[in-house]
Structures are given as C-alpha cells and as structure tokens.
A and B are shown apart, each in its own frame.
Chain A
Amino acid sequence: MIRILVLSLLALSACTNSSTELRLYSKKIGFNSDKATLLVSLENCSYCFGEYQETVEELDKLKFNVVIISSQKKKASLFASPDDNSVFIDNEKIAIKLGLIESLPIIILPSGERLEIFSPEQLLNYAETYVP
C-alpha cells in the first residue's frame, strides 16, 4: 500500500514538473498551454518529416497546438505553416533543452501528461481518445 502511495506521489510530482515546464515553454513559444500540444522535432528524427507531415495537416488545430522543433525555419515551415495561433516553430530548440522531447513526437496534455507517438496512426488515435 505504501509502495503504491509513493509511486502515486512520484507520478503526481512528475506530472506537476511536466506541467510547470510546459507552462514555461508555452510562455517562451507563445502558445496556449490549456490546449493539447503536439511537439515534433525535425532535429533528431530523420523520418519524422515524411512520416507525420500529412497527419499533422489533418489535426484539428482548434484543439491542438503544434510546435515544430528545428533550427531550420524553412524546413519547419514546409512541415506546417506557422500562424502564431496554433502552429509554432521552436528554432532555438528550447523543447530539447528543457527535456520535453527526445526524438519521437510527443503530445503533452494540459495536465502535463506526455504521450509518446510511434506512428501517424497512433497520433490520430491519441487525438481522438485524449482530445475528443
């Protein structure tokens, strides 16, 4: 029982940290952290551009922020056009520095919960399940 309590506390504190980091990140990039946020790094995922570009186009941007992490503004803009409303570019790679993303795309829910994405199908599935 104690073990479960400790694990729950740890999970909660991890969530709180992520949530704080997310808020910090959202301020720097300029997005609304009350929406679910999809982070896609084109820095250390060589196939992410081809694999996710079409699927990201399909996402409902009213429900999602999309942040593309890339030092190349042109490449990031080709992946999805930034509009300062729901699509943003993190060309200083702050998300990597904050440890919010490593290589695979991530959905961060407003609660701070992180969902790692392994395929475009899974992205759509998570979008339907967690951001109805």
Chain B
Amino acid sequence: MKKILRHLSFVGIVFLFASCENKNATLSEGILRYKVGESTLNLDDSTAIDFMRISYAEEEGNEYLLHQNEFKKSIQVFDLESGLVAHEILYPFEQPLGIKVVQGITAISLDSIFIFMPLSIRGSILINRKGEILNRYMPTKEEDLEKSLINHVSFGAMPTLFDGQNLRFIQLPTFEVSNPSNINDTYKFEMLYNLESNEIEEAEESGFPEFYQNKIWPSQDISVSRIMDLQGRIVYSWRFLDSLIVVENGIVEKMLAKSNFKKQDMSPFQLMPNKVQDMEKLIQFTKYYGIYYDEYRDLFYRTVQHPGVFDGDAIPKEMDASRKFSVLILDHQFNKLNEIVFPGGIYNIYRAFVGKRGFYLPKNNVMNPELVEDTLSIDIFDFTAHD
C-alpha cells in the first residue's frame, strides 16, 4: 500500500512539474520577464475558489489576502507566503446587528475590517481580528426608501475606499440605463459617507462623462473604476474613455491613458438593443476595466479587455473570460511606461489586486483548463523588474 501511495505521489509530483512547465509555456517571454513570484492558496472543503470579496493587507512585513467566505460566514486571512489561513475571523451575521449577506470588505489592517451589506450603507460594520464589532454605521435615514438604497459594488475594481474621513462607495444605477435621457450628469457614481458627521454626499466629479451622455451603451458596461493614490488624488477610469479623470483638491483634469490595442472608439447604439446585440457589443469591443494604484512603486495600472469572439450560443461569462487583456503601466504623472498583453482564459482580470510585490493576478478564470477547486494560484508581476 505504501509503495502504491509513494508511486502515486511520485506520479503526482511529476505531473505537477509537467503542468507547471505547461503553464509557463503559455505565457510569452514578454510576460515571464516580469513574473516575480507565485502564491498558492490552499482551500479547504468549505472554501470556494471564486474569491469574489477580497482585500489585501500587510502586517509586520507579511502579506495577507482577506477573503470573505460566505459559507462559513468568516473572513479568512490567507498568508500569501505560505498559502495557509493564518487567522479565521467569524463576523457577526445574526440580525439585527450582524450582516447576513455581505456585499464587500475593505481591510485597513487586520484589526480594522469594514464589512458592507448590499444596497445600503446603513448597517455597515467595522470589526477587529477577533470578530468584535468596533463600530456600526447608521447614516441618517432617508424618508424615501428608494433614496436610501445605495447600490454600491464594493469589490473588484470598484472597491470601497477609506480616505481618512470618508468611506467612498462606487454605486451603480438602478434606473433604466437604456433610456438615453437617463444618461446625464445628474447621477453620481461615487458616494461619500463621512464617518464623523454621519452624512452621505455625492462626489460631484463622478457623473457620466460628456462622451456618454444622452446615448445608449451596453448596459453591463455602465460602471466606473476608481482609485486613490498616496497624494489623495482620486482617479476615475471609465470603460470607454481613453482618458482618466483625475481629481486633485477639487480640480478635475483629464489624463490620456490610451491602450495601444484600442483601434476604434466604442460606438453607442442607435436604437434600444436586444439582449443579443447588447452582449455582442460587450464582447467585441476593446474597453478598459480597472484602475489600480501601486503605492509601493507610485505607479498606476489600467487593465484593458481586448476584443473577444462573440457566439450567440455561448455563455457570456465564458466568452468574456476567454478574451485577452493588457495592463497599461503609468507613472505618477500618468505617462505611459509600458503595456503588457496577457493571454485569455488563464487569469481572472476581475480579481486582480496590488500588493508589496507588485500586481497580483489570480488564475481562477473559469476557462482556465488547469483550474482545480482546492488551490488558488496567483501569479505576481513586478513591472519595474527590469528598470
């Protein structure tokens, strides 16, 4: 029996190496030269691989990835070096004080973790590593229920940020976006909740850019990614705009950050599209996805989704996951330094994050043929590695 197990583990190891070689073979030299590491997270039987709600944190030089486990109702703190769960924080989920369904998490440190619920800022909590509630936030209630609903995202490239005074939420419209008259400057995508005054206000500069207004766009692309740098500048990246919108002390500037791979501007629909037309445009055009700030290198990364192949019978999520993407690297003045193209079907562009070692790309892409549900592999890229 021991012999068989030994043989099996040998075969397993050989297979593992072979698959590692195979994985790297699919990455071009242009990518591999920037790959500086890999983190492999061990997922137990109660942890799914999609890792939707995550937040990065550092403590005493160690790197952690916090993951909200919706089955366990816990925040798992993965050590990115060992791949093991260093702590598991059970957060309160029983109503009325706890959060049953979590929309997103933002870790300021391992002892200050914000947990947000869907559709509302009211009821958000701040917990420590013991899972104790440090604060519960109850902004003034609107009399009109509809007005009090805030359809915030709080994950992916639309995280909720803490700027020292406010929690900054990106929200998505709940109105009919295929009605061009709704696409105006009145609606604001960013909401600021002031933790001291307990008031919520809109970020003035976060409305639809002029380019979007009074037109019909693919509905799922009606969103904006936003990040804040160490200087406190707020940077908005719109899906169809080559320029970034940068807000510094109330002054708004457009900074061109165009992908080399964008050959034509996204054109709006002339008439209200059906679902197939909407999806076709969503898949076939080049567009920007996220904006990320690397505080360790004072760089910005902008992800670009290249045109995909549309097939009316295929599953939209799979068509989307198969498309190539690139990462635009910008310095602190938004000068373009480089643009690296990644193959489709390996990395999950929607789960990218930034950490001490650079840009982290999880491989939980639904089309990744090497995906196994017990481990989450993350490739780490330092785009300054050859400077």
* Interface residues, chain A, with chain B CB atoms under 8 Å away: 43-44, 46-47, 49-51, 53, 71-75, 78-79, 93, 96-97
Q: How far is the CB of A63 from chain B (nearest CB, A)?
A: 25
Main secondary structure of the interface of A (DSSP, over half): helix
Are B70 and A71 in touch, CB under 8 angstroms?
A: no
| Shortest Cβ distance from A46 into B: residue | B52
Interchain nearest-CB distance for A101 vs B (Å): 12
Nearest-neighbor residue (CB-CB) of B47 within chain A: A74
What are 18 sample pairs from A and B whose C-beta atoms fall under 8 A apart?
A43-B315, A44-B316, A47-B101, A47-B103, A47-B118, A50-B101, A50-B102, A53-B70, A53-B71, A72-B48, A74-B48, A74-B373, A75-B48, A75-B49, A75-B50, A75-B373, A78-B46, A97-B315
**Which chain B residues border A51 with CB–CB below 8 Å?**
101
Question: Chain B residues in contact with chain A, CB under 8 A?
Answer: 45-50, 52, 70-71, 100-103, 118, 313, 315-317, 366, 373-374
| B45: chain A residues within 8 A (beta carbon) | 74
What are the residues of chain B within 8 A of A47 when measuring CB–CB? Answer: 101, 103, 118
CB-CB < 8 A to B315: which residues of A?
Answer: 43, 93, 96-97
Beyond A50-B100, A74-B48, A97-B313, 4 additional contacts (C-beta under 8 Å) are: A50-B70, A53-B70, A75-B373, A79-B71
Partner of A78, one of B71, B316, B366: B71
**Which residues of A sit under 8 angstroms from B71, Cβ to Cβ?**
49, 53, 78-79
Interface centre among B52, B70, B103 (most CB of A within 10 A): B70
Taking CB atoms, residues of chain A closer than 8 Å to B50 are: 72, 75
The docked-state distance in angstroms from the alpha carbon of A97 to that of B49 is 23
Inside 8 A of A71's CB, which chain B residues have their CB?
A: 366
Q: Which B residues are CB-close (under 8 A) to A49?
A: 70-71
Chain A residues whose CB sits within 8 angstroms of the CB of B313 once the complex forms? 97
List of 4 A-B pairs having minimum Cβ-Cβ separation, nearest first: A75-B48, A50-B101, A74-B373, A78-B71
Cβ-defined contact, A78 with B48, below 8 A: yes
In the bound complex, residues from chain A placing their C-beta under 8 Å from that of B101 are 47, 50-51
Bound-complex Cα distance A74 to B376 (A): 13
Q: What's the least CB distance linking B318 to chain A, in Å?
A: 8
Q: Across the interface, do B100 and A72 meet the contact criterion of CB distance under 8 Å?
A: no
A73 vs B46: C-alpha distance when bound (angstroms): 12
- Closest chain-A Cβ to B46's Cβ sits at a distance in Å of 6
- Minimal Cβ-Cβ distance residue in B for A77: B45
**B70, A72: Cβ atoms closer than 8 Å:** no
Known A-B contacts A43-B317, A78-B46; the reply to A72 vs B373 at CB < 8 A is: yes
Min distance, Cβ A55 to any Cβ of chain B, angstroms: 11
Can you name the residue of chain B whose Cβ is closest to the Cβ of A102?
B275
How far is it, in angstroms, between the C-alpha of A53 and the C-alpha of B101 when the chains are bound? 10
- Least Cβ–Cβ distance between B233 and chain A, in angstroms: 30
